């Protein structure tokens, strides 16, 4: 319950930033403001994750690294939003809805069967997905799937208040000094 209250408070405090980002997206490429995508949640239940839209309308729903000439599908502000992780802020809505938490394994795409299967085998699927997590701060998109799962399993076995604080600080550091972010 406390995380939902904190998320709601953050949503209110960050509403000026939300408005600026929303207006920028609308002025460049119209509606919708948010990109939503099917993701895998706790116990492998599916849910819709929300992000600020960083790509132009009608972009196919595939990973950026699979799109040829990815720079042509980005909105003007898109790469900056991703670099600073501002595109992730609408996930506060997912936290309010109880689908996500601040810290946990990043939710897998609905079609990442290999990741879903490995997480299930490791028992990681019992964790609620997070906006940031141990695998995120230890390599982000640069990690191969088996290594991500190992890091997620480490988090499962060592989850604590102090580890969460460490992850928060490491996340803040990586936002200030980004590395391993797909553009």
Residues 107-133 have pLDDT tens digits of: 999 999 999 999 999 999 999 999 999
pLDDT in tens, 86-98: 999 999 999 999 9
Given a cut of 90, whether residue 26 has pLDDT beyond it is yes
139 or 101, which is more confident: 101
Rounded average pLDDT over 53-64: 79
Q: Output phi, psi for 66, to 5 deg.
A: -95, -5
Q: Is the pLDDT of residue 181 over 60?
A: no
Confirm whether 181 is domain-assigned: no
Q: CA-CA distance, 91 to 77, in Å (whole number)? A: 18
Query: Average pLDDT of 126-141?
Result: 92
**pLDDT class for 64, splitting at 50, 70, 90?**
low
Beta bridge partners of 109: 39
Is 7 inside a domain boundary?
A: yes
Calpha distance 28→21 (Å, rounded): 11
21 domain residue, yes or no: yes
List residues bridging with 127 in a β-sheet. none
State the pLDDT at residue 176: 85
Question: Domain for residue 133, yes or no?
Answer: yes
Q: How far is CA 121 from the centre of its chain?
A: 23
Least confident of 59-63, 99-103, 152-156, 177-181: 177-181
Q: Which domain holds residue 103?
A: 2-176
Residue 117 lies in a domain: yes
Average pLDDT of span 155-177: 94
Instruction: Tell whether the torsion through CA atoms of 179, 94, 96 and 29 is positive or negative.
Output: positive
Q: pTM score, two decimals? A: 0.89
Q: Which of 25-29, 42-46, 130-134, 140-144 has the lowest mean pLDDT?
A: 140-144
Q: Is residue 183 part of a domain?
A: no
In this predicted structure, the answer to whether residue 183 has a pLDDT above a threshold of 50 is: no
For residue 135, being part of any structural domain is answered with: yes
CA distances from 64 to 72, 120, 170 (A): 11, 26, 25
- Judge whether 35 and 54 are in contact, CB under 8 Å: yes
Q: Determine, yes or no, domain membership for 182.
A: no
Grade residue 57 by pLDDT with cuts at 50, 70 and 90.
confident
Residue 155: how many CA atoms within 13 Å on its side-chain side? 29
Q: What percent of the chain has pLDDT over 70?
A: 91
How many domains, in total, are found in the chain?
A: 1
Residue 176: enclosing H or E segment and its boundaries?
helix 161-176
Residue 32: cis peptide before it, omega within 30 degrees of 0: yes
């Amino acid at each position: 319950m406390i995380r939902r209250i904190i998320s709601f408070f953050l949503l209110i405090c960050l509403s000026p930033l939300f408005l600026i980002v929303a207006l920028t997206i609308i002025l460049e490429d119209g509606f919708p403001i948010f990109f939503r995508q099917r993701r895998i949640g706790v116990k492998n239940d599916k849910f819709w994750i929300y992000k600020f839209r960083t790509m132009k309308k009608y972009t196919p729903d595939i990973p950026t690294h699979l799109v040829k000439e990815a720079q042509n599908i980005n909105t003007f502000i898109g790469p900056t939003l991703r670099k600073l992780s501002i595109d992730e802020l609408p996930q506060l809505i997912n936290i309010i809805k109880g689908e996500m938490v601040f810290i946990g394994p990043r939710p897998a795409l609905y079609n990442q069967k290999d990741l879903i299967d490995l997480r299930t085998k490791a028992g990681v699927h019992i964790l609620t997905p997070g906006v940031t997590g141990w695998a995120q701060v230890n390599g982000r998109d640069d990690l191969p799937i088996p290594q991500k799962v190992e890091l997620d399993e480490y988090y499962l076995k060592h989850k604590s208040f102090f580890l969460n604080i460490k992850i928060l600080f490491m996340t803040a550091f990586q936002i200030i000094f980004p590395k391993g972010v797909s553009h």
